[in-house]
Amino acid sequence: MFTALLAVAIGATVLSGLVTVYYDIPRQMMREFRSYGANLILAPSGGAASLPAGEAERALRYFPAESVVGAAPYRYKAAKINEQPFMLAGTDPAQARKTSPYWFVNGEWPQARGDALIGQNVADTIRLAPGGEFTLTGLNSEGEGFSRDFRVSGIVQTGGTEEAFIFVSLADFDGLIGETGEFDLVECSISASADELQGFAEQIAEDVPGVTPRLVRRVTQSEVTVLAKLQSLVYLVTVIVLLLTMICVATTMMAVVAERRQEIGLKKALGAANRSVAAEFLGEGMFLGGLGGVLGSALGFAFAQTVSVNVFHRPIAFQPLFIPATLAVSVVITALASLIPVRSATDVDPAVVLRGE
């Protein structure tokens, strides 16, 4: 019985560990290939600190309208919360969302004025949760001090420096810092091949003097394929582990049934119906599955955490839903694995009791 418990626990560990990693790998990969969204950045030319909005618009017109997935302008300025320095960024939230689809937002993107999307670092430092409020202070472009209250609409995890940023709408930003009609940069997501993009970029560099287009490497098709292959590998390993667990549980239960032949025969001789005998073994098997599942969920998380920290260099998010899921799978697996042993238990002949060994 202990062997079976061990088998279920190990099975559940590998299962919940793999599924956790499986669930997290895409997110981790997205973070690794951060440029998944934006593949072109419009930056100011030469020594200029910013690029005029009109120039950026002119540059964007070089792309066929339907190929522009998103174009998010950004303005940056240092600001403080509780005397802690952070970077304030003004953008168009709707466009930013399109150029940064890999961002993991807990809560909402800013929708109304006075809403702010804050990075995970900011949230951790100031201890803010979605729905919380904070006061932003700083100096505007004229050098005059400002102070304004914002509401946290969401907290963003990107795996990059953005986690130390506070994102607000351009309108809010302009209201605080002052309207200049210029952006620090524009992130663009263009659906075009690498060659086409290169062509557009060269043309813009030549024709639009205020703008320097920079190409950003995007996740290539082959990388996506690797990801998909990795996921199907995880599937395969999971299925194999489940099968091995079932075989191990089934053989252990078979041994237990053989060992308890006399006891089963006795119970049947005393008048136990097949239903009772089956229920006893199934119940035992499912209890085993539950116990193994609990052990496995805990060990599985530790396992996934180790893998994630070693391979991706970042911790994994705890998924509370995986515990009941692992538990349910363990119970179902042990119940299935117990079917044949239960069958052989009900087949025991009550006449064995009087015959002895």
Partner 1 sequence: MNLLELNGVSKVYGSIYALRNIDLAVERGEWLAIMGPSGSGKTTMMNIVGGMDKPSSGTVILDGVDISKESAKNLTAIRRDKIGLIFQQFHLINYLSALENVMVAQYYHSLPDEKEALEALERVGLQDRAKHLPSQLSGGEQQRVCIARALINYPALILADEPTGNLDETNEGIVMDIFKQLHRDGSTIIVVTHDPEVAEEAQRTVVLEHGKVARIVAANGEAAAYYEK
CA–CA separation, 272 and 157 (whole Å): 60
* Contact positions vs partner 1 (CB under 8 A): 262-263, 266-274, 276, 349-351, 353-356
Tokens standing for residue 136: 């932003």
Q: Which is nearer to partner 1, 47 or 271 (CB)?
A: 271
- Cβ atoms of residues 100 and 216 within 8 Å: no
Q: Smallest distance, Å, CB 251 to partner 1?
A: 23
Q: Which is nearer to partner 1, 224 or 258 (CB)?
A: 258
Q: Which is nearer to partner 1, 269 or 294 (CB)?
A: 269
CA–CA separation, 166 and 177 (whole Å): 14
Q: Smallest distance, Å, CB 350 to partner 1?
A: 4
- Cβ atoms of residues 353 and 269 within 8 Å: yes
Residue spans of alpha helices (H) in 178-220 = 194-207
Q: Smallest distance, Å, CB 264 to partner 1?
A: 11
Q: Which of 128, 171, 170 is nearest to 151 (CA)?
A: 128
Q: Which is nearer to partner 1, 196 or 280 (CB)?
A: 280
Q: Which is nearer to partner 1, 27 or 260 (CB)?
A: 260
Q: Smallest distance, Å, CB 282 to partner 1?
A: 17
Q: Which is nearer to partner 1, 112 or 270 (CB)?
A: 270
DSSP 8-state symbol, 67: G
Q: Smallest distance, Å, CB 346 to partner 1?
A: 10
CA–CA separation, 316 and 22 (whole Å): 11
Q: Which of 245, 263, 297 is nearest to 8 (CA)?
A: 245
CA–CA separation, 8 and 237 (whole Å): 16
Q: Smallest distance, Å, CB 253 to partner 1?
A: 18
CA–CA separation, 17 and 238 (whole Å): 10
